[in-house]
Amino acid sequence: MRRRFGIGFWLAVGWVGVVLLAALLADLLPLYRYDETLAGPPQTGPSWSHPLGTDGLGRDVLSRIVYGARVSLGVGVGAVLLGLLIGAPLGILAGYRRRAADAIIMAVNDVALAFPALVFALAVVAFAGASLRNVLIVLAVLGVPAWVRLIRGATLSFAEREFVLAARVLGTRDRRILWREIVPNVAMPAASYAFIGMAVVVVAEGSLAFLGLSVQAPTPTWGGLINEGRTLMETAPHVVLVPSVVMFLTVLSFNLVGDRLRALTDVRESGLEPVRQVTVSPMPVAEHQVRDTLLQAEDVRTHFATPRGLVKAVDGVSFTLERGRTLAIVGESGSGKSMLIRSILGLLPGSAVRGGKVYLSGDDLTARTPAEMRSVLGPRLGTVFQDPMTALNPVRTIGTQVTEPLRVHRGLGRKEAHAEAVRLLASVGIADPVRMLRRYPHQLSGGMRQRVTIAMALSCGPDVLFADEPTTALDVTIQDQVLRLLHQLREEHHMAVVLVSHDLSVVARWADEVIVMYAGKVVERGPAAEVFRRPRMPYTQALLQAAPRLSDPVHHRLREIPGRPPDLVDLPPGCSFRPRCAYAQDRCGQEAPPLVGVALANGAPVNGSGHQYACWYPRPIETAIAEGAESSGR
Amino acid sequence: MIILHRLVRLVVVLLVVTFLSYALLNLLPGDPVTQILGMSATEESREQLRRELGLDQPLFVRYLDWLGGLLTGDFGESYITRMSVGAELAERLPVTLELLIAAEIVALGLAVPLGVAAARRAGRALDQALTALSFALLSTPVFVLGVLLILIFAVTWNVLPATGWTSLSVDLGWNLTSVILPAITLGCGQLAVYARLLRTDLIATLQEDYIILARARGLSPRRIMWRHALRPSAISLITAIGLNMGALIGGTVIIETLFGLPGIGRLIVDSIFSRDYLTVQGGVVLISVGYVLVNFAVDVVYAAVDPRIRRA
């Protein structure tokens, strides 16, 4: 527990405890009386007999602060408890029985927010009399709307959960559900808010006291002490500083405790917590030749240091790609295919460690700084992402977004960029490009958006186009159009295309070569038609059988791949696919199979561009599905 | 349609707020007649004054009467000073408005660059320092901060005045020196809220696909931050500006008392002490209207910031 809360939390708890104890035991402590004038010489600083000095009338400051804590904490704890007592039942009621109660709560909320609470408190206390009881009641009542809102929200989120719905369906009585299911779950947010509420009340009471409208003299209050001390600022600043610091520390402590408790229950928070970076030694790059080719990836690795352990998202992938060719990278989600693309582009989150080399026309991209990379991203490497719904900035017009790279990279003026954008949109098959430029992304269909993102990727005439699942989020009817468009654009611009997909049968038709990835590694690769027709690795075969085909008979059962994608932190020894493989034998659990080549059907020699697989017991060619052959030709 | 809906809600909220405050102020113990005539006045003279002031009428009638006057811009006449409440408020309003605007300028002017800087280096030293700072600021009551700033800038260094107000129409320079400490004091609490919100939303936005794609297009981090990420991340910030307006106006009550500024907040405090119901009531109405109008404006700003909201 200690580690989860952090040292600050325990210091805060300690401070609150000390102040609370001092307030409770004030009468037993060896203190001067808080109203004893001339207990020491007036306006003197800290000394042995007066650890925090004396005020203008020679009263002991420490004693006045300790007795002031009785008021501050008394009102704080009392008002919060009272507010909770009134607010919690109302909130639970509103959250559990929605509709009418909900509408009323919202209306009251509107009014409460528009109501100047502090002014109201001032007026009530002034007219009704400034006593501890009145201050406490007013601040408690003013806190009720916030309590109702909080408890209602917490109740709502639980009232919809399965276990409560199930209990309701089973006919469990409401009262029982409330006590056994809802109340325990609402308790934690309520406890966290109680501390934050105390901070709010202590500040509010201080404000009232500062204006002279809390408990009246001679009883000291923190706000009152600060107000009194103001007049002595020039001669004895400690009189105002000491209560200020005490008040600050107390409010800070309440806030801190509340915040930590909230963080415990709030799952969203944890995602935003910065991951502490663990140093990973730089990865050595295997010896290799820089080839005379457009794009060469050599032993690319992407590792993440996570709290659970090292994740090898991409673990040694190599390939080469020529102009006018399409390389498909296939695998389940989590296989590392998207990370491979991001690794090549150098667009990794800060916690990632990259290894290996990437060459563009023999030029080492991995040696470039981020600033140097920017002259390549766009002009030479274009990118299209999976979900066109999230790929465009929702608050900028299509025109602004399409013309931006033209103006940044190609230095076009406003008019030229506009004309070029119109031409680009027309080239990806958008009917009314001039009007399109004025629209916002939410006004477009998914297919249209994907066309726009493709146009943007092409705007600076890249040599390689990376398309990460470009059709996954689209309608089946649109998918084929987009892939056809990519293919046609490849021909027109004489580019190379890297096509990432989880669906082997979709890409096989448009790809020249295929790489199949599993758990960050290449498990099979080769000419697309060959891999598609004669998959050797059981995983590739399973991928093919998991995809529906039009040629399948009606009511044909899709075979899913059993098991789950592997946990990258904790990979099994040997072949990563072994736990899910129907053909696994002892050897698979001991040694990881290397990528080995097969002679092609036409007798072509085994080399880097041939058909390769990583499997100790590859599927014989006969059992591989043959019916895929018809659809693999273009 | 949505505007009409909002307007109806606005009117209802104002009616409820005015009636509640009117009723509460009138039902609370403390009689203006006693306040004016003193304890020794005869029952007859009290009765006469009560009739003169219209206090013999039932509460609801008085409220409607007052509300009717309000619709014609008449806030009534103070029982105590016999001055027009409307004129008094009009005289004080510019001070409070200037204070509020200056505070928002201080808060936003610092919160946006700080939030951006923290989000860009999330988890690093600067970010952690900012998180700690905003937590500390959030935990500093406004009067504590004000006292400390006065202690530092007015008492110790003697570079700014501790109290007092010079009107904008008298001297611009003196006006600015008199508003700067109150504005910083009031703005700091907001600064902490705004910077934290913006930081959190920016960090989330920076993980969006369209930001990664903007990087994939070779755009510079500065351009991505200011032109691509800032606007989609501003919605929570704008909401907070509206919702915190209530707390901010509440803060002016303290600030104006602490720094001796002749604004609405000070007027309300003084009127509370002198049991001047109608002036307090006028101030409450003004604050509520201001709050509701600001939030109405926030809805309009939403649409300007995020085009997706325009169609609703």
Q: Identify the bridge partners of residue B74 per DSSP, sorted by sequence position.
A: none
Q: CB–CB of A366/B179 below 8 Å?
A: no
Q: Given B138, B200, B288, which is nearest A115 (Cβ)?
A: B288
Residues in chain B: 312
Which of A65, A119, A239, A404 is best to mutate for the B interface (most B CBs within 10 A)? A119
What mean pLDDT is predicted for residues B300-311? 75
Among B124, B216, B220, select the one facing A347 at the smallest CB separation.
Answer: B216
| pLDDT at residue B96, rounded to an integer | 92
- Which of B8, B26, B34, B217 is the best substitution to test chain A (most A C-beta atoms within 10 A)? B217
Q: How many whole angstroms separate alpha carbon A71 and alpha carbon A23?
A: 9
- Tell me the average pLDDT of chain A: 82
Residues from chain B that touch A383, judged by Cβ atoms under 8 A, are 213, 216-217
Taking CB atoms and an 8 Å cutoff, what residues of chain A touch B158? none
Residue of A nearest to B303 (CA): A395
Please report the pLDDT score of residue A275 as a whole number: 40
Q: Provide CB contacts within 8 A for A598, sequence distance 6+.
A: A536, A606, A610, A611, A612, A613
State whether residue A159 is helix, strand or coil: helix
Which residues in chain A have Cβ-Cβ distances shorter than 8 Å to B276?
none
- B275 interface with A at CB cutoff 8 Å: yes
| Statement: residue B172 has pLDDT above 90 | no
Short-list B247, B263, B284, B250, CA closest to B25: B284
- The rounded distance, in Å, linking the Cα atoms of A326 and A496 is 6
At B31 the three-state DSSP class reads coil
Mean pLDDT of chain B: 85
| Number of residues that make up chain A | 634
- In which element (H, E) is residue A201 found? helix A183-210
Close Cβ partners of B99 (under 8 Å, ≥ 6 residues apart): B179, B182, B183, B186, B252, B255, B256, B261, B263
Classify the phi-psi angles of B30: left when phi > 0, otherwise alpha if psi is within -120 to 50, otherwise beta. left
In angstroms, the CA A286 to CA A354 distance is 14
The runs of H, that is alpha helices, within chain B are 2-27, 32-37, 43-53, 59-71, 85-120, 125-138, 142-149, 172-205, 209-216, 221-223, 235-243, 245-259, 264-273, 277-305
Q: How far apart are CA A504 and CA A528, in angstroms?
A: 9
> Chain A within 8 Å of B238 (Cβ-Cβ)?
no
CA distance B273 to chain A (A): 7
pLDDT greater than 80 at residue A395: yes
DSSP letters for A575-603: -TTGGG-TT--GGGGTSPPPPEEE--TT-
Whether A281 has a pLDDT exceeding 80, the answer reads no
Contact list in B for residue A392 (CB cut-off 8 A) is 210
Sheet with A496-501: strands ordered across: A381-384, A464-468, A496-501, A326-330, A513-518, A521-527, A611-613, A596-598
| Token reading at A293 | 């080719």
**What per-residue confidence (pLDDT) applies to A547?**
67
Report chain A residues whose CB lies below 8 A from the CB of B13.
Answer: 110-111, 114
Question: Which H or E element spans position A612?
Answer: strand A611-613
- Residue A600 vs residue A630, higher pLDDT: A600
- What residues of chain B, 4 to 43, have a C-beta less than 8 Å from chain A? 9, 12-14, 16-17, 20-21, 24-25, 28-30
Q: Over 70: is that where the pLDDT of A556 sits?
A: no
Structural contact between residues A333 and A318, judged by C-beta atoms closer than 8 angstroms: no
DSSP A296-311: EEEEEEEEEEETTEEE
Partner A contacted by B222 (CB < 8 A) = no
Q: Which residues of B touch A385 (CB under 8 A)?
A: 209, 212-213
- Percentage, residues of chain A above pLDDT 70: 89
User: Helix, strand or coil for residue A467?
Assistant: strand
Nearest-neighbour CA in chain B from A252: distance (Å): 5
**Amino acid identity for residue A444 in this structure:** L
Q: Which helix (H) or strand (E) holds A536?
A: none
The helix/strand/coil state of B231 is coil
| A456 neighbourhood in chain B, CB within 8 Å | 213, 217
Q: Taking each helix axis from N to C terminus, what angle separates B245-259 and B172-205, rounded to the nearest 10 degrees?
A: 150
CA distance to partner chain A, nearest, from residue B267 (Å): 11
Check pLDDT > 70 for residue A554.
Answer: no
Is pLDDT of B187 > 80?
yes
Range name among A86-95, A488-497, B6-15, B281-290 with the lowest pLDDT average: B6-15
Are A223 and B143 in contact (CB < 8 Å)? yes
Q: Which amino acid makes up residue A540?
A: T
Helix A117-128 vs helix B2-27: crossing angle, to nearest 10: 10
- Give how far B103 is from chain A: nearest CA, Å: 18
Residue with tokens 């001679």: A218
| CB-CB contact of A464 with A291 (8 Å) | no
The candidate with the shortest Cα–Cα distance to A56, out of A315, A235, A305, A208, is: A235
What is the Cα A434 distance to its own chain's centre?
A: 37
Contact A113 B243 (CB under 8 A): yes
Mean pLDDT for A117-135 is 83
pLDDT at A606: 46
- Residue A522 to residue A314: CA distance in whole angstroms: 9
How many other C-beta atoms can be found within 10 angstroms of the C-beta atom of residue A78?
A: 19
Enumerate the residues of chain A whose CB falls inside 8 A of the CB of residue B306.
Answer: 394-395
Which of A75, A109, A210, A442 best probes binding to B when mutated, by most B CB atoms within 10 angstroms? A210
- HEC profile of B172-205: HHHHHHHHHHHHHHHHHHHHHHHHHHHHHHHHHH
DSSP string, A53-104: -B-TTS-BHHHHHHHHHHHHHHHHHHHHHHHHHHHHHHHHHHHHS-THHHHH
Q: Is the pLDDT of residue B192 over 50?
A: yes
Q: Which residues pair with B90 in a beta bridge?
A: none
Which residue in A96, A86, A25, A36 sits closest to A60, CA to CA?
A36
A438 class by beta-carbon count within 10 Å (0-12 exposed, 13-18 middle, 19+ buried): exposed
Note whether A221 and A71 are within 8 A (CB): yes
Kindly list the residues from chain A whose CB atom is less than 8 angstroms away from the CB atom of residue B236.
none
Environment class of residue A407 by beta-carbon count within 10 Å: exposed (0-12), middle (13-18) or buried (19+)?
Answer: middle
Task: At A10, list the tokens.
Answer: 């325990």
Cα–Cα distance list, B202 to A80, B196, B209, B232, B236 (Å): 34, 10, 13, 8, 11
Residue B170 is given by DSSP the state T
Residue with tokens 């420490």: A62
Interface of B with A in 74-133 (CB under 8 A): 122-124, 127
B1 pLDDT band, cuts 50/70/90, is: low
The Cα B156–Cα B290 span in angstroms is: 37
Is A340 a residue whose pLDDT tops 80? yes
Give me the interface pTM, i.e. the ipTM: 0.87
**pLDDT > 90 fraction of chain A, expressed in percent and rounded:** 22
Concatenated DSSP letters for A220-288?
--HHHHHHHHHTTTTT-THHHHHHHHHHHHHHHHHHHHHHHHHHHH-HHHHHHSPPPPPP-PPPPPPP-
Give domain limits for chain A. Answer: 8-26+52-261
Q: Is the pLDDT assigned to residue A175 strictly greater than 90?
A: no
Give pLDDT tens digits for B49-102.
777 777 777 888 888 888 888 888 788 888 777 788 888 899 999 999 999 999
Per CATH, the number for A8-26+52-261 is 1.10.3720.10
Nearest CA in chain B to A404: B219
Helix (H, G, I), strand (E, B) or coil at A514: strand
Instruction: Give the closest-approach CA distance of B162 to chain A in angstroms.
Output: 11
The answer to whether the beta carbons of residues A295 and A496 sit under 8 Å apart is yes
B143 to A210: CB separation less than 8 angstroms, yes or no: yes
Distance from CA of B170 to the nearest CA of A (A): 29
The helix or strand, by DSSP H or E, that contains position A468, with its residue range, turns out to be strand A464-468
Q: What is the pLDDT of residue B159?
A: 82
Shortest Cα–Cα distance, A178 to chain B (Å) = 32
Q: Cβ contact (<8 Å) for B144 and A247?
A: yes
Rg (CA), chain A: 35
Q: What does the block give as tokens for A61?
A: 């400051």
Residues of A in contact with B127 (CB under 8 A): 274
Identify all chain A residues contacting B210, using CB atoms and an 8 Å cutoff. 390-394
* A207-259 pLDDT per residue, tens: 999 988 888 878 889 999 998 888 888 888 888 899 999 999 999 999 999 98
Q: What would the two tokens of residue A39 be? A: 């207990």
B227 CA to chain A: closest CA distance, Å? 9
User: Taking CB atoms and an 8 Å limit, are B218 and A251 in contact across chains?
Assistant: no
User: Tokens 């029985």 appear where?
Assistant: A97
Lowest mean pLDDT among A37-51, A138-152, A369-383: A37-51
Q: How far apart are CA A576 and CA A342, in angstroms?
A: 23
Domains of chain B, start order: 92-311 (1.10.3720.10)
Residues of A in contact with B160 (CB under 8 A): none
